[in-house]
Amino acid sequence: MKIGIFTRNEHSWCSRKLRDEIIKAGHEPFPMRFSRVRANIGFKPSVSYDGVDLVNELSIAIVRPIGRGSVDECFFRIDLLHKLERLGLPIVNRPSTIERCMSKFTALAVLEEHGLPVPKTTVTENPVEALKAYHELKEDVVVKPLYGSRGFGISRLRDEDVARRVISDLHF
């Protein structure tokens, strides 16, 4: 069985461990980076990587991190995983689950809907509403991008002038 592994770095500790376990189980690991995947519409192969037809040559694909990228790139990666899934390739870490986790709003909303405690959160595109929330939350808030990971773009705001500036800079 050939098992695809979508990963940012095939030499990372977790990718190596995954690869080693796949080999130990008697299967062939096939590491891939999203940035090198090719998707075709209207001609075959539908989705390939370095000439390998992923739908017909892989038995399953495992998604490690979706990886860094622009919002457009990340959405394309999710769309690509949905396409592979629709074409019958089993995906571990399903695209619908990754979508929920990528969006901080969706992740928090789903957790709250299932009765789990979450921090008080406001999501808005409107800087006036964001500043109102800053005051309602007692002027000590954390501002995060809707999409992102590993702490990039996070600011703790405790000063109104700084809050106005950060909120203004985030609005376009």
Domain end position, chosen among 102, 125, 151: 102
Same domain, 26 and 61: yes
SS3 label, residue 3: strand
Q: Is residue 108 part of a domain?
A: no
- pLDDT score recorded for residue 100: 85
> Is the pLDDT score of 151 beyond 80?
no
- pLDDT-derived band at 172 (thresholds 50, 70, 90) equals low
Rg (CA), the chain: 20
- pLDDT-derived band at 167 (thresholds 50, 70, 90) equals confident
Choice between 88 and 167, residue whose per-residue pLDDT is larger: 88
Distances from the Cα of 117 to the Cα of 121, 132, 145, angstroms: 12, 23, 21
- pLDDT score recorded for residue 114: 97
Same domain, 97 and 122: no
Same domain, 19 and 65: yes
Same domain, 121 and 159: yes
DSSP class of residue 120? Answer: -
> Is the pLDDT score of 143 beyond 80?
yes
Which residue range is the domain that position 27 belongs to? 2-102
* Residue tagged 């998604």 (tokens): 63
Terminal-residue alpha carbon distance, the chain: 48
Q: Using CA atoms, how far apart are residues 95 and 5, in angstroms rounded to an integer?
A: 14
Query: pLDDT tens, 73-125?
Result: 989 999 999 999 999 999 999 999 988 888 888 889 999 999 999 999 888 88
- pLDDT score recorded for residue 69: 82
**Phi, psi (degrees; rounded to nearest 5) at 117:** -70, 140
Same domain, 69 and 123: no
Q: Is residue 124 part of a domain?
A: yes
Same domain, 10 and 76: yes
Same domain, 6 and 77: yes
Q: Is residue 107 part of a domain?
A: no
Q: Let me know: does 74 contact 105? Beta carbons within 8 Å.
A: no
Chain centroid to CA 43: how far? 28
- pLDDT score recorded for residue 18: 96
Number of domains making up the chain: 2
Same domain, 89 and 135: no
Residue 35, domain CATH: 3.40.50.20
**Phi, psi (degrees; rounded to nearest 5) at 156:** -100, 125
Same domain, 53 and 136: no
Q: Let me know: does 86 contact 58? Beta carbons within 8 Å.
A: no
Q: Is residue 26 part of a domain?
A: yes
Query: pLDDT tens, 19-52?
Result: 999 999 999 999 999 999 999 999 998 999 999 9
Residue 128, domain CATH: 3.30.1490
Q: Using CA atoms, how far apart are residues 50 and 135, in angstroms rounded to an integer?
A: 53
> Is the pLDDT score of 139 beyond 80?
no
